Structure 1
Amino acid sequence: MQVDFYQLTQSTAEQVVVLLAANTLAAGQRLLVVHADPAARERLGQALWSAPAAKGAERFLANGEAGGAHDGRQPILLSDAVEPANGARFVALADGVWREAEGAERVFLVFGEATIDDARACWRMLGERAGLTRNYWKQEDGRWVKAA
């Protein structure tokens, strides 16, 4: 599994999730976006619907809230738990809280100032696991740069 840490310094969680979602779909994968707060999931869903998709995809990033009749068909599923009913192997933890993602190929931990200490502890904890790759991304001049 690969875990990518994205520290929010210039962009919002919504902006980063839109970028991750567009790149995930362009790679032919599905995405599960996890956030504990229902209002935040609503904002994430709206950002995905209204954002122009990248790399020749649709003009929006179709998504739905978990628990619906068509969860399995959603390219991007929003949930409060790591239960990929859409078959996603890519998971974005958009609230900065680490959750185990069994069977995931790639996990994106999006965190800000409020959860930076938890993200650092998670980095250390994951560093002790075999078969796991970690990357840390930060923004410089509006671009994401791999820092570790």
Structure 2
Amino acid sequence: MQVDFYHLTSMPLERALPRIAERVLESGARLLIVAGDDAQRAALDRLLWEYSSDSFLPHGCEGGEEDADQPILIAGDVNAANNAQHVALVDGNWRDDALDFDRAFHFFDEERIAEARAAWRSLGEGDNVERRYWKQNDAGRWEQAA
């Protein structure tokens, strides 16, 4: 199990998440995107349709008749109705249920850094969890820092 911590400093979630989602789909895997807030989930739904004029990320929002068929599913909790192997926690809240996936992406900003550090420490105590910390350099590119 791999957990990637993404510290959002200069690049907002709206630019980082679609790139991760594209890579997950290119690998042939499915993605569950988790956000606890209804408004954030609605904004993510719009984002995945509109983020690029020359690309599109097929997805749905939890509660539809075809949840199981969605390559990307946006949900309020860690329940992969689409049988996703990867989960993106995008509201800054770590959820231990993410450990049931092959890979977890934990996005957080400065407001949630204390919680992210606590999650990092607790995951370091577990077996079979590879943790990676990604930060942005001065050019806005992601660099693995730990």
What band does the TM-score fall into relative to the shorter chain? over 0.9
Which among 84, 95, 100 is matched to residue 91 of structure 2?
95
Given that 1:45 and 1:64 are in contact with CA atoms closer than 8 Å, whether structure 2 keeps it comes out as: yes
Per-residue deviation, residues 8-40 of structure 1 (Å, max 9, x unmatched): 101112222111101100111100000001111
Secondary structure (helix, strand or coil) at the match of 1:96 reads: coil
| In 2, Cα distance between equivalents of 1:120 and 1:19 | 24
For residues 47-126 of structure 1, the aligned pairs below 5 Å read: 47-52=47-52, 59-99=55-95, 100-126=97-123
Residues 66 and 144 of structure 1: CA distance in aligned 2, closer, same or farther (over 3 Å): same
* Cα distance in structure 2, aligned partners of 1:68 and 1:122: 32
Question: Matches of 1:41 and 1:13 in 2, distance apart?
Answer: 13
Which amino acid in 2 is paired with 1:78? I
CA distance in 2, matches of 1:14, 1:85: 24
Q: 2:31 aligns to what?
A: 31
Partners of 1:7 and 1:137 within 8 A in 2? yes
CA RMSD of aligned residues (A): 1.4
Identity among equivalent positions (%) equals 47
What stretches of structure 1 of length at least 5 have no aligned partner? Answer: none
Q: What number of residue pairs does the alignment pair up? A: 144
Q: Amino acid of the residue matched to residue 55 of structure 2?
A: R
AA of the residue aligned to 1:12: P
The residue identity in structure 1 corresponding to 2:143 is: V
Q: CA deviation at 1:51?
A: 2.5
| CA distance in structure 2 between the partners assigned to 1:37 and 1:12 by the alignment | 17
TM-score (norm 2): 0.94
Q: TM-score, normalised by structure 1?
A: 0.93
Query: Shift of residue 102 of structure 1?
Result: 4.8
The corresponding residue for 2:6 is 6
